[in-house]
Homo-oligomer: A and B are copies of this chain.
Amino acid sequence: MNKPDEQGPAAQAGPLPRVIIVGAGFGGLAAAQALSRAKTEVTVIDRHNYHLFQPLLYQVATAALSPADIAWPIRHILKTQKNTVVLLDAVSGIDRKTRMVRTDGGRSLPYDYLILATGAQHSYFGHDDWEKNAPGLKTVSDATSLRQKILLAFERAEGESDLQKRAALLTFVIVGAGQTGVEMAGAIAELARHSIVDDFRHIEPGSSRILLVEAGPRILPALEEKLAAKAQQTLEKMGVEMMLKARVDNVDDGGVSVGGQHIAAKTVIWAAGVKASPVAEWLGVQADKSGRVSVDQNLNIAGDDRIFIIGDAASFTPDKAAHPLPGVAAVAKQMGAYAGKRIRAAIESGKIPGPFHYKDVGTVAAIGRNHAIVVLPHLKVSGLIGWLMWSASHIFFLIGLRNRMFVALTWLWQYVTWQRGARLITTENPHQE
C-alpha cells in the first residue's frame, strides 16, 4: 500500500532505504528537498495538506492576507521529486524496536531513517482550560478563527447599547510580547485605527483598547534592548498599551486577570508560550520543560543515529553556547538541510558531514506600517528601511511566484489604501461564539 507504483524508478532499483519525515514545516520541507536526488524512498507525513509560511500567519488573523497567499499544498511543492510520497495523516506513535511509525489513519510505516520535524504547539503553562478563551496562532484555522473573533467583536460592539459590554468587546488583550505578540498588537492597532475606522455608525473602532501583556521586563526579549525600546515606542504611538512584568493569573470568557487586576476583554490572544509536539512521548525519552528533546551535534537523539529531531521540536545547544538555538524558521531550515544531507551521505556511502553548525542569518520583526526591526550579523536596522527590508525578505522567502506576486501586490495596495481585503466572518451563526 505504501510502496511506490511499480512503474516508478524505485521498483527498478530494488528495495531502497526508507526515510520518513514527520512534519512539512520549514524543517521537514528542507530535509525532503535535501533528499531530492538521493537513492531512497522518502515519505513526508503531515496532518495538513499545506506547508505554511508561519511568519505571516498574523496577517491572515488580522484580515490582511488570505490563507492561500501563505499556504501551499505540500504535494505540489514536492511534485517533481519523484522519490517522495506525501501523506495527509497524523502520527500516533513510534516503535523504535521494529522501526515503525504508526498513524491515526491506521498506517504502519517502516523506516530506516526518521526525521521528526513536528514543530511546536501553544503552551498554557498548565492551564489548558485558558485555550478556549485565549486562542493562539499556529495553523490556518487558528488564523481564520482569530480573524473571525476580532471582526465579530467590532460587529457585536456596534449592536451593543450597554457601554460596559461594548468596552469589553472593544478591548483586545495580547498575552506575550515576543515576535508574534508584538506583530499581532501592531496589526490589530492598524486594523482598528485605520482600516475599519469609518465603517461603523455607533462605535468608534479607533478608540479600541489594545493591551500587550508581558511577564518579562520588556518586549521582544530575543532582540537587543535598544531596538526593543524603539519598537515599544512605535507601538505606544500606535496606541498599544504595555503591561510589562505582568503575569496572567486567569483567563475566562469575561476577560483576563493580570496581577490580581481583572481586565474585561472579549478578545484575548495567546502568544506567550510554545511547547514542542509530543515527540518525547512517542520516543520514550526525556524532554525539557518546553517539551523539546535534546539532540547531539549530529541532530540525533542519544544512542540512535537513525532518528533526527529538527526545528522547534529539538533542543540543540551549540558548542560553548549558553542556550539552545531558538525556535525560528532559519534554524529549522538549516537543521532540515543538514539531516537530509547526513542521511544521503550514509545511504550513498558518501562523505559524512561534520557536526551541525548554525549560521546566523539574523532576526526580523514587523511592528507595523513603516516600522520593522532587522538584525543581520553585521547590520542593525529599524524603522522604514527595516520595514522595506522585512517586506522584501518575506516576499522572497514565500514559495512560488504566484504567492510572491500576490503578497507584494496586496501589501502595495494596502499601503496606499489602508484597507484590508480579507475581512470575512464565515460563521453561519453570528450569535453563537
Contact = CB atoms under 8 A, between A and B. Distances in A.
A424 B75 contact: no
Contacts of A89: 159, 430-431
A409 interface: yes
Interface stretch (A139-147, A275-283, A364-372, A380-388): A139-147
A228 to B, nearest CB: 33
Interface string A5-32: 1001000000000000000000000000
A177 B399 CA distance: 38
B49 A423 contact: yes
Contact of A104 (B47, B107, B421, B431): B431
Q: Please report whether the interface of chain A is mostly helix, strand, loop or mixed according to DSSP.
A: loop
B402 A161 contact: no
Interface residues of A, number: 63
Nearest to A413: B402
Contacts of A158: 87-88
A48 interface: yes
A136 interface: no
A192 to B, nearest CB: 14
Interface string A390-433: 00000000000011011001100100010101111111101100
A199 B80 CA distance: 8
A343 B29 CA distance: 61
Number of chain copies forming the complex: 2
A76 interface: yes
A426 B140 contact: yes
A97 interface: no
Interface stretch (A66-74, A125-133, A284-292, A322-330): A66-74
A232 B5 CA distance: 35
A198 interface: yes
A424 B68 contact: yes
A241 interface: no
A421 B68 contact: yes
Contacts of A49: 151, 155, 423-425, 430
A38 interface: no
Contacts of A144: 426
A317 B103 CA distance: 59
A90 interface: yes
Interface of A: 1-2, 4-5, 8, 47-50, 66-69, 71, 73, 75-76, 79-80, 85-90, 104-105, 107, 139-141, 144, 151-152, 155, 158-159, 161, 196, 198-202, 402-403, 405-406, 409-410, 413, 417, 419, 421-428, 430-431
5 contacts: A48-B426, A49-B423, A68-B421, A89-B430, A402-B419
